[in-house]
Structure 1
Amino acid sequence: MDISVTPRENGVTELGVTGRLNVVTAARVREAIQTAVNDNRGKVAVDLSGVVFLDSSGLGALIAGLKAAREAGGDVRLVQPTEQVALVLDLTNMGSVLKSFDSVEDAYPHD
């Protein structure tokens, strides 16, 4: 799994995640979100367009990141989840908590 970090406008951090988001890689995603929050960039957009597999550990990492971001006054929003990721979100009813968008700009429109 690879994670790219791109600071964007308005305090948004884009995390591009590719590969498998599972028990082996979940801690890296959780840490990347926490680092963004610690850097006063609590608005995190996680691009999942390159994720081929998401399991419960990966979902847990996204939820832990969401909690950390919200405690800091921010949020975690998903961008372009793949079909498999969307299925996991639907099956776990987490799609209403972890909102999905077509782009970073849609996730965090300019104020």
Structure 2
Amino acid sequence: MNITIDVQDINSRVEIQVKGEIDAYTAPKLRETLFPLSEQENISMVVDLSDVSYMDSTGLGVFVGLFKSVRSHNGEFRLVGLSERLRRLFDITGLAEIIDINSDAEGGLK
């Protein structure tokens, strides 16, 4: 199970492209890469999940934590490029009502 995380930090806007699967094995890498960025004041963090093929509850936990951290530092957090399957996961858990999500392809960073 592999994950690739590409981070582009442009001023106070961070764009992250995640590729692969987010599960119990890869979530710690995602967390350790993104959490330090989430603690910057007034950060705008956009995470593109258009190349994520699978995510379990461990991945959801990482994004909830990131969302809370970014918001507690007066920042903005957004997920883009969600597949129908990932979007349904956020809908079922009620997180789609809390986290800014754009599942349209044009919402991605590409």
Give the TM-score range, shorter chain: 0.7 to 0.9
> Which contiguous aligned blocks of 4+ residues in structure 1 show a shift greater than 6 angstroms?
none
Per-residue CA deviations over 1:19-49 (Å, capped at 9, x if unaligned) read: 1111111122222221213455621101000
Query: Structure 2: which 5+ residue stretches go unaligned?
Result: none
Report the Cα offset of residue 83 of structure 1.
Answer: 1.7
TM-score, normalised with respect to structure 1? 0.82
CA distance in 2: counterparts of 1:70 and 1:63, whole angstroms = 11
Alpha-carbon RMSD across the aligned residues, in angstroms, is 1.7
2:32 aligns with: 31
Contact 1:5 1:16 in 2 (8 A): yes
CA distance in 2: counterparts of 1:75 and 1:28, whole angstroms = 22
Q: 5 Å matches for 1:46-65?
A: 46-65=47-66
Contact 2:42 2:76 in 1 (8 A): no
Rate the CA distance shift 1:89–1:19 in 2: closer, same or farther, 3 A: same
Q: 5 Å matches for 1:77-92?
A: 77-92=78-93
Contact 1:20 1:54 in 2 (8 A): yes
Q: 5 Å matches for 1:1-111?
A: 1-8=3-10, 11-40=12-41, 42-101=43-102, 102-103=107-108
TM-score, normalised with respect to structure 2? 0.83
- Percent identity, aligned pairs only? 27
